[in-house]
Amino acid sequence: MKIVVSVENAAAVGEVAEYNPTFIELRLDRMEGDLLDQVRAIREKTVIPLIATLRSRDEGGRFVGDADLWARIVGPIARYVDIVDVEARYRDHAPFIKSQGVQILASLHTNEMPTPPELGRIEEMLRSYGDIPKIVVHPKSRDDLFDLIAFTHRAQKPVCTSIMGAEFRYARAILPLLGSEFVYCHAGTPTAEGQYHIREMRQLADLLK
Ligand SMILES: O=C1C[C@@](O)(C(=O)O)C[C@@H](O)[C@@H]1O
């Protein structure tokens, strides 16, 4: 199970690295100060692969600028990380980001629950500009959850799927068992409702083997 620990404070990276996650996600939209300086310092502090995410407010984050501002912020940072999370709304800048030698995590987060055909169309759209599609949805029923699990199982790999909200948070531990590439956790400060601590997720993963 590949575990991503999301952080919003550069000072926490040392402690997070002690848990040895597969990736550390830097939530640039939740960080204060000079982002480039902080990412450079984090790169020097750890060899754990890094994901840079500048999450729009529309998709659950705090960034409210346009796509060009997004690129001006993320572009110089890209060379210091391994993966950049690029929401569909910023996809025009994906080739430039890719040229920095990183993988593109093409993401879409919706508070809705797409139908199975819609999930397929979203996946196709995300794959048109990214290396790994990431689809985060809000299931409203067990049927919705079954649809997401079936989609994850059947989808071309790699694919990353996850859920919003607390009602079906257990799905965070199930989706990687059905083929989702990553599971997002925290190591003290959740960056989204329903996230498990990395310690808890490792226990779940061990018990579900
Ligand atoms: O897209 C995701 C998933 C996430 O929102 C979650 O629900 O764990 C956490 C975010 O930091 C990350 O960028």
Say how many Å lie between the CA of residue 76 and the centre of ligand 1: 22
Residue whose C-alpha is closest to residue 106's, from 45, 160, 185, 184: 160
For residue range 119-177, list pLDDT tens digits in order: 999 999 999 999 999 999 999 999 999 999 999 999 999 999 999 999 999 999 999 99
For residue range 83-102, list pLDDT tens digits in order: 999 999 999 999 999 999 99
Question: Is the C-beta atom of 27 inside 6 A of ligand 1?
Answer: yes
Q: How many residues does the chain have?
A: 209
36-40, 113-117, 187-191: least confident range: 187-191
Reply yes or no on whether 134 is catalytic.
Answer: yes
* DSSP states along 122-172: HHHHHHTT-SEEEEEE---SHHHHHHHHHHHHHS-SSBEEEE-SSTTTTHH
Alpha helices in the chain (DSSP H): 13-17, 35-45, 67-78, 94-98, 116-127, 142-154, 171-174, 198-208
How far, in whole angstroms, is CA 140 from its chain's centroid? Answer: 21
When pLDDT is cut at 50, 70 and 90, the band that residue 21 belongs to is very high
Choose the catalytic residue: 2, 134, 153, 157: 134
- Distance separating alpha carbons of residues 38 and 53, to the nearest angstrom: 14
When pLDDT is cut at 50, 70 and 90, the band that residue 105 belongs to is very high
For residue range 30-79, list pLDDT tens digits in order: 999 999 999 999 999 999 999 999 999 999 999 999 999 999 999 999 99
148 marked among binding-site residues: no
Residue nearest to atom 5 of ligand 1 (CA): 192
Write the ipTM: 0.98
Q: How far is CA 38 from CA 18, 27, 33, 86, 169, in A?
A: 19, 12, 8, 20, 31
Q: What are phi and psi of 176, to 5 degrees?
A: -65, -30
Choose the catalytic residue: 45, 98, 109, 140: 109
Q: What is the mean pLDDT of residues 108-127?
A: 98
Say how many Å lie between the CA of residue 156 and the centre of ligand 1: 21
| pTM for this model (two decimals) | 0.97
127 marked among binding-site residues: no
Say how many Å lie between the CA of residue 73 and the centre of ligand 1: 20
pLDDT at 189 over 90: no
Q: What is residue 25's predicted lDDT score, i.e. its pLDDT?
A: 98
Which tokens hold the place of 51? 């994901």
Reply yes or no on whether 197 is catalytic.
Answer: no
| Helices and strands in the chain: count of H runs, count of E runs | 8, 9
55 marked among binding-site residues: yes
pLDDT at 209 over 90: no
